[in-house]
Amino acid sequence: MIAANSALLEAAASHLGNRDGARWLVEAGFGHLDPRSAWCSAFMLYIARQCGLAPAATAAARSWLREGEPVALADAQPGDVVVFWRGKPGGWQGHVALLQRTAAANAIVVLGGNQGGAVSSKSYPADRLLGIRRLHLNVR
């Protein structure tokens, strides 16, 4: 199996600056949701499908914790899927994006949707990390 990391990062980067969250909700099949809904997972679903993947993730960011294979932070590579908690650690809210790099002061820099209302690069505290997953391309 081949990791999808570089393909995912390239696909996501091609949409940098896009603020049309409603588009990603429609593209991912969640057009029935309020257009003001969080759209990080919808963006990730669109990107993954654009790369030929078929994730079972939902509109909930934490659903990505069931995709691919788990990866420890020490072994994480750019393009791995990163899931953070939002609200409270044991709650249902979260945020999903692609790892760009780890930074000093226990920060994780990610590329994703709905970060400041746009597809962008943003730093999150490492203590909000729920998990890291690696997706694989289906190669025959």
Task: Determine the pLDDT at residue 4.
Answer: 87
Q: Which domains does the chain have, with CATH numbers?
A: 2-137 (3.90.1720.10)
In the prediction, which pLDDT does 1 show?
A: 60
**Amino acid (1-letter code) at residue 41:** S
Q: Report the pLDDT value the prediction gives residue 50, as an integer from 0 to 100.
A: 93
Nearest 5°: CA angle at 107, between 51 and 95?
Answer: 50
Whether 57 and 22 have beta carbons less than 8 Å apart is answered as no
Tens digit of each residue's pLDDT, the chain (140 residues)? 678 899 999 999 999 999 999 999 999 999 888 888 899 999 999 999 999 999 999 999 999 999 999 999 999 999 999 999 999 999 999 999 999 999 877 899 999 999 999 999 999 999 999 999 999 987 55
Query: Residue 80: what pLDDT?
Result: 97
Residue 91 has phi, psi (to 5 degrees) of -80, -165
